[in-house]
Amino acid sequence: MRTNSLVALWIVTGLAAGLAAAPAAEEAGAFSPAFIAAQQKAIAPAICLLNFTAEVESQRTGETQKRSTRALGLIVSPDGLVMTHGHMQSDKSDPSNIRVVVGEGEEDKEYDGVFLKKPDDINVCFVRIQGEEGERFPCVTFASDGNLGLGEQVLLFGIMGETLDFARGALTRMISAVIEKPRTTYCIDEAIPFGYVGAPVIDSRGRIAGVVGYDLAPTEGGELYVRSGHPLVYQAPLFAKYIQNPPTEDTLEADQPIAWIGVFSQPLTDDLAEYWGLPKKGGVVISTVVEGSPAEAAGIQRGDVITSFDGMPMRAKKNSEIVGFTKLVRETDVGREIPVKILRSGQPVDISIVLTERPVSAKDAEEFVEETFGLTVRALTTDVRILLNLPDETQGVIVRRVKSGSWAHLAGMRPGVIVLRFGEYPVTSIGEFEAAVNKVKEARPAEVPVFCRVGARTGFFRLQPRWE
């Protein structure tokens, strides 16, 4: 149910309110009960429970099923902006039926929530509480720097399980590692319970340094860490801009386009440098040049070593240092001529390259939901071509979902199949697929052979429509 009475203005700040209420922990590693109680009193009102419907995808058919789930939310601005962990959104499916429960026990109030777009560069999501006009909510304020130290004790506030009436709880943990690259990251020493994902992290001075997260976003080198399963602290400066300027379609799309060079690379290790007779100064070794890419157009060759890009020296000797090159490329202006210094067979060569906008990825690819046969298909994007090692001559659309019980399902089609021909009609794009389906629907044949690529092979599936 919808509340319309909560108009109180509670602003909880870790620094202002928190410190006013309680002293800083007296010594490192020992949060006193009084300190914890004072922090809880100040911060717990800003912790809310998010109930929502998520879509879970079936591995077999690619179909999605709805599931009710919940997450911890943290109110980060008095007008009802809630931050939570990035797992609230999966792939392209936004959560729905979001209900935000503010307050505990008999004092709780439930609101509708609206999901805002998920940022690309930090693995958090934002929800806007739909309160009454002018309604103010208790919220937290983060420390401006978010720095933590190795061995520092931290205090986390989270939500207990349903059987414990979602009571607010506290945990102490320690910063077990400080990782410097690709950006400063803090590891938490032990696993944390489910209700603490996204929880505020309070340092020994009573400041809210950040929130509990897991993997980094891909744009910040997330793939290096994504499998660690280790709890981390997302320090406040990473998401501060989104609290000030909450992400919407407009704000995110207004960002400059992501640039693309079209190479895969590896670091110039000292051993590789020795082997090639190059100075052991690091560099970016081009291991693959993508066909049709700006790199290919600029004449970059496999085996070239990039030593300088747009005036910035490239000194990668380790895998983790390649991320710096990746990031630099992404943030480079599209369309500008970029000077690049390379070593080719040991000889310095200066080239210039004009980067293009990154090709559409599968995640953002055009999708077409075809109801009659039960197929949802996507355009074949460059990233999928590389992933599946598809030759250029393979033109088609890739099956994303197969509706259970549909004619496509009965024919044995499944996600990942690439449709090359539908009936008699070649399919090289979403538009052609749609046109082919429409022609078949007009002709209403008793059977429709669909020519497809499945893995490394091609073959036919026979659809047997039962026209009404």
Partner 1 sequence: MRASMKWLAPLALAAAGCATMGGPGEHAVIRAKNKVIPSLVHIRPVKESFASGQKQEYVVEGSGFIISPDGYVVTNEHVAGDSTQVRCVLFNRDEIDAEVVGTDPYTDIAVLKLKVDEANLPAAELGNSAHIEPGQTVLALGSPHGLSRSISKGIVSVTDRYLGEEGPRPAPYNTWIQTDAAINPGNSGGPLVNLKGEVIGINTRKLSGADNVGFAIPVNAAREVIGAIIEHGHVPRSWIGVRLQEMTSKTDDPSQRGVVVADVDPLGPAAAAGFAPGDVIVAVNGEPVHARFEEDLPLVLKRVADLPIGSPATFSVRRGEETQDIAVVTMEESDYKGEEVEFAEWGFTAADLTPAIVQAARLPSSRGIVIAGVEVGTVAAESGLRQGDIVLSVDGEEIANLAEFQERYDAINDAGKRLVLLDVKRGALTRFELLKLEPGAENGDEAAGEVILDEEDGEEPNGEEPNEDE
Q: Name residues contacting partner 1, limited to 111-150 (CB under 8 A).
A: none
Of residues 194 and 460, the one with the C-beta less far from partner 1: 460
Q: How far is the CB of 323 from partner 1 (least distance, A)?
A: 7
Measure Cα distances from 396 to 392, 442, 454 in Å.
11, 22, 12
Dist CA 368 CA 358 (whole Å): 22
Q: Does 285 bind partner 1 (CB under 8 A)?
A: yes
| Interacting residue with partner 1 among 100, 197, 263, 408 (CB under 8 A) | 263
Q: Does 458 bind partner 1 (CB under 8 A)?
A: yes
Q: How far is the CB of 268 from partner 1 (least distance, A)?
A: 10
Q: How far is the CB of 308 from partner 1 (least distance, A)?
A: 15
Q: How far is the CB of 292 from partner 1 (least distance, A)?
A: 12
Q: Does 294 bind partner 1 (CB under 8 A)?
A: no
Dist CA 33 CA 46 (whole Å): 20
Is the backbone of residue 207 left (phi > 0), alpha (psi -120 to 50) or beta? beta
Contact stretch for partner 1 (CB under 8 A) within 3-11, 105-113, 201-209, 270-278:
270-278
| Interacting residue with partner 1 among 70, 168, 400, 409 (CB under 8 A) | 400
Q: How far is the CB of 366 from partner 1 (least distance, A)?
A: 13
Report 61-120 residues binding partner 1 (CB under 8 A): 62, 91
Q: Does 277 bind partner 1 (CB under 8 A)?
A: no
Of residues 82 and 417, the one with the C-beta less far from partner 1: 417
Report 161-220 residues binding partner 1 (CB under 8 A): 218
User: Which of these, 309, 334, 294, 363, lies nearest to 120 by C-alpha position?
Assistant: 363
Q: How far is the CB of 149 from partner 1 (least distance, A)?
A: 26
Q: Does 440 bind partner 1 (CB under 8 A)?
A: no
> How many chain residues interact with partner 1 (CB under 8 A)?
72
Contact stretch for partner 1 (CB under 8 A) within 35-43, 103-111, 132-140, 378-386:
378-386
